[in-house]
Amino acid sequence: MTMTDPRSQRDAYGLILEAIDSGLYKPGDRLVESELADRFGVSRTPIREALQRMETQSLLTRDGRSLIVASLDHNQLAELYVVRGELEGLAARLAAKHATPEEVRVLRDMLEADRALVSDPQALSRANRRFHRQIHLASHNRFLIQQLDLVHRSMALLASTSLSAEGRSRGTLEEHEAIVRAIEAGDGEAADAALREHISRAFMTRLRLDSAKVQAAE
């Protein structure tokens, strides 16, 4: 029995997840093992194992014999944002307590760099993920980081970024400013509240975007 190189499996998983996250594959799209292997230049065995792993994580679902990118209904979306708000708020609270001066400086530098991306929602969305990931790391709690990784993998199932809504990019940067300011001050309660408010506003924006899509389809 041949064993798959764990690195190859991780690479295949990461490549497929990134393709979903970037919108190359959208909810409802069918994923074919042979096509993925050709696209990414990876053998079929690690692709198969990565697909199986993603199915167990509910990132993919079965449609007959085919695997398709899962989609989130309204209730699942609400549940995801509730959990995200709780965990992200805790991460900010812990970051205010445990972040090193260097980690705080990195957050501040990220925020300043992101101001140049305000007119590019897709680029700002990628930067937004890096910003949140930095807060997770600054919490210095490995178990929390693991849970947030799972949450953010599920976020890849959202077909579009809430930052595409008019005015949302600038609002996001203002909210990030409040989060960083609270972490800099070592104020855990304020950091928690600022990040929860940020997630709440992102959720409301996404609900409005989804409602507009439904109305346009009617």
Residue 1 placed within a domain: no
Asked if the model's pLDDT at residue 161 lies above 70, the reply is: no
For residue 2, the model assigns a pLDDT of 43
Residue 126 placed within a domain: yes
Contact 30, 68 (CB under 8 A): yes
Q: Which of 69, 87, 111 delimits the end of a domain? A: 69
Give dist(CA 40, CA 35) in Å, integer.
Answer: 9
Contact 111, 177 (CB under 8 A): yes
- Domain match, 57 and 11 both: yes
Which pLDDT band holds residue 100 (cuts at 50, 70, 90)?
very high
- How does the average pLDDT of the chain come out, rounded? 87
For residue 88, the model assigns a pLDDT of 97
What is the pTM (predicted TM-score) of this model?
A: 0.79
Residue 60 placed within a domain: yes
- Domain match, 177 and 129 both: yes
Give dist(CA 117, CA 142) in Å, integer.
Answer: 30
For residue 63, the model assigns a pLDDT of 86
- Domain match, 82 and 65 both: no
Q: Provide the number of structural domains found in the chain.
A: 2
Residue 38 placed within a domain: yes
Nearest Cα to Cα of residue 214 among 81, 76, 73: 73
